[in-house]
Chains A and B, each alone.
Chain A
Amino acid sequence: MIRVTHLMIIRTLSPPFPTVCESIMISAIEQIGRVTLRTSSSVGSTLSFAARVFLRMFERRSYNSASRMVLINQIYFTSVQILPLFLFVAVIFGAMVNGMVFQLIKKIGQTDYLGRLLMGFVVMEISPFVTVLLIALRSSSAINAEIAVMKVNRELSTLEIFNIDLIDYLFVPRVLNGILSMVFLSSLFSLVVLSIGLFVSSVIFGTSVDAYIDTLLRSASLLDMIIVWFKCAAFGFFITLIPIILGMNASQELTSIPVAVLNGMVKVFSAIIIIEVLSSIVRFI
């Protein structure tokens, strides 16, 4: 009799079971809504900022002497300084990939697909991907940290006080550098890999230079090359723009710098994957 009374008391005090389920579901939906809004707001602000920077790139006033100097410095640090390492990686990677491709082609006896494999796989996919990874690892992280440090040290505020346009002076040269460096370095990577392929083909298959070039030409198409350059440009644009945005999101505290760099690199990696998928969709559809 006493137990029954206790149970009755507990049931009277606690809310009914359907009410608990409803509240959990509502909070979950709210959470989804919050994340969606935050993400869409973030994506929206990023795209809006990207559009502003992109449009500013085509304005002549963006290229004053100070901006040009920043652009040259950025190209030097991003492309020229990395060039020996980049070429070394291209040679090693080219020898490895070409060796694997040629051995595979030889084993399955499908030499007709050699050109298609080299152009479609190495030039269209591998070269931009390896280049963007190298630039992202080296330059994107540096840009992210640089902007975050400038934000923490209030340098960005100071520049604005002096009426210096941040987009013209800081962002456009970096983004343009990203685009140019990606296109140039990816093209160089492709040329080096194809040159290594020429060497490997003459060693493994004993083919002549003309036959190798003819094989490549049969598979090469200008449309594919244009798509690759657009892809590289998109890579360069976003792997420099995202670190800039994340660097600007840093607070006034020094501890926010590594957090900004970390978030920036994760988003850069996500952007790389998204662009890769989109370019594949464009190519094959």
Chain B
Amino acid sequence: MQKIELKVGLFVTITLLLIMASIGYVAYKKDMFSKVYTYTLSSKTGENLTEGMPVVFWGFNIGRVSSLELIDQGVLIQIKIPERHNRVIRSNSKFVLDKPLFGASRIVVETDNLNAPPLSPKTVSEISVSNDINEMIKRALPIVDKADRIMANVEQVTEKLADPGGDVNRILKNTETVTANLADPKGDVNRILKNAEALTARFAKKESVLEMAVGNTESVKSVHEALANVRDITVRIDKILAKADSITGKTGEEIYGPDGVLPLVRDILRDLVAKLTKIDTTLDNINKVSAEAVDSTKDLKVLRSELDAAITAIGNLAEELNRKIPFKAKPEIKLP
């Protein structure tokens, strides 16, 4: 029996202690043993105000609404703040009834300066209202307007889509025409492709770029002949120069004297160089013509005339040389 009594006693004692400790802890944490300050607020309406609603500072619950009283001027709200949170209630504190879009309403305390003198419990502060729903509606109105405009545009687009003569349908028809043209073997696109094919085939048949540029073989032949003439001229010049070398070996004074052959030869050579330079330019032009495929025969005629002039000048030079060479028998002038 004593054992049973002990067990029951232990059970009852331990359980009671646990219950008492739990109650004490909850009561302590709920500030039931600390001093509580009561402040009075006023509001023109009691809407969204309930007893027990939280009083919040910086997101923390610092108290609660203890009672609501209807008076002639509106509603008196009494809030209870425990001593440990009382330091945030200052004379410059503002009290805002916050009505969030979701969740319960609450009174938010806004204190700019925590060093301001404390709020007197006799002061009745007026509560202001912050309505999230109305603010949301205000913010949403421009968005709704935009949405309306977008919907109107969408409606217009759909109307145009539905209209058989509308822009979209015309574009679609044009696209259809283009694709039909593409698909048609006799269509424009296919014809262009065939022409391009023929053109490339023609290009492939030509022997040189020059022929492709000038278009006929006659002009090309002329260019080749001119080039052959130039080559002959250079050969002849080489020979003349060889002769001149032999002359200089035999007749130094006549050659090196002030009125000798050499200055003359030098002049002639200068002239010749100038001509050759011209020939070089001409050759460059020919190359340019062949490279850039100049299709003009006008330049070729000029070239030919210049070549002819050069040849004539060189022929005159050769004659002059023949005339002035000393070891050659002086020409006899036959009197009439």
Which among B25-33, B198-206, B228-236 touches the partner chain?
B25-33
Q: Is the CB of A218 within 8 A of B11?
A: no
Task: Tell me if A104 is interfacial: C-beta within 8 Å of chain B.
Answer: no
Shortest Cβ distance from B54 into A: residue = A218
Task: Tell me if B7 is interfacial: C-beta within 8 Å of chain A.
Answer: yes
Given A72-B4, A73-B4, A217-B30, A225-B23 contact (CB < 8 Å) = yes
Q: Is the CB of B18 within 8 A of A191?
A: yes
Q: Interface size on A (CB < 8 Å)? A: 19
Task: Tell me if B72 is interfacial: C-beta within 8 Å of chain A.
Answer: no
Q: Which parts of B169-199 form the interface with A (CB within 8 Å)?
A: none
Q: Is the CB of B19 within 8 A of A187?
A: yes
Q: Which parts of B6-24 form the interface with A (CB within 8 Å)?
A: 7-8, 11-12, 15-16, 18-19, 22-23
SS class, residues of chain A in contact with chain B: helix
Residues on B with C-beta less than 8 A from A225 are: 23, 26
- B162 to chain A minimum Cβ distance, whole angstroms, is 44
Residues on A with C-beta less than 8 A from B16 are: 184
Given A72-B4, A73-B4, A191-B18, A220-B11 contact (CB < 8 Å) = no
Which one, B8, B22, B30, B32, contacts A75 given CB within 8 A?
A: B8
Q: Given the complex of chains A and B, what is the CA–CA distance between A80 and B18 in angstroms? A: 16
Shortest Cβ distance from B29 into A: residue = A217
Q: Which parts of A181-226 form the interface with B (CB within 8 Å)?
A: 184, 187-188, 191, 213, 217-218, 220, 222, 225
Q: Is the CB of A222 within 8 A of B22?
A: no
Interface residues on B, range: 10 to 19
Shortest Cβ distance from B1 into A: residue = A69
Instruction: List 13 contacting pairs A-B, 8 Å CB cutoff, sorted by A.
Output: A72-B8, A76-B4, A76-B7, A79-B8, A83-B11, A180-B12, A184-B11, A184-B12, A184-B15, A187-B19, A188-B15, A222-B23, A222-B30
Q: Is the CB of A80 within 8 A of B8?
A: yes
Residues of A within 8 A of B (CB): 69, 72-73, 75-76, 79-80, 83, 180, 184, 187-188, 191, 213, 217-218, 220, 222, 225
- A201 to chain B minimum Cβ distance, whole angstroms, is 18
- Residue from B8, B30, B32 with most neighbouring chain A CB atoms (10 Å): B8
Residues on A with C-beta less than 8 A from B8 are: 72, 75-76, 79-80
Residues on B with C-beta less than 8 A from A222 are: 23, 26-27, 30, 32
- Residue from B1, B7, B15, B26 with most neighbouring chain A CB atoms (10 Å): B15
Q: Is the CB of B26 within 8 A of A187?
A: no
- A70 to chain B minimum Cβ distance, whole angstroms, is 12
Which one, B5, B22, B23, B61, contacts A72 given CB within 8 A?
A: B5
Residues on B with C-beta less than 8 A from A73 are: 4
Shortest Cβ distance from B3 into A: residue = A76
Q: Given the complex of chains A and B, what is the CA–CA distance between A178 and B105 in angstroms? A: 43
Shortest Cβ distance from A68 into B: residue = B5
Q: What 5 additional pairs, Cβ within 8 angstroms, besides A75-B11, A217-B26, A225-B23? A: A69-B1, A72-B4, A73-B4, A80-B11, A184-B11
Q: Given the complex of chains A and B, what is the CA–CA distance between A191 and B14 in angstroms? A: 13
Q: Given the complex of chains A and B, what is the CA–CA distance between A76 and B22 in angstroms? A: 24
Q: Given the complex of chains A and B, what is the CA–CA distance between A187 and B16 in angstroms? A: 9
Which one, A72, A76, A188, A217, contacts B18 given CB within 8 A?
A: A188
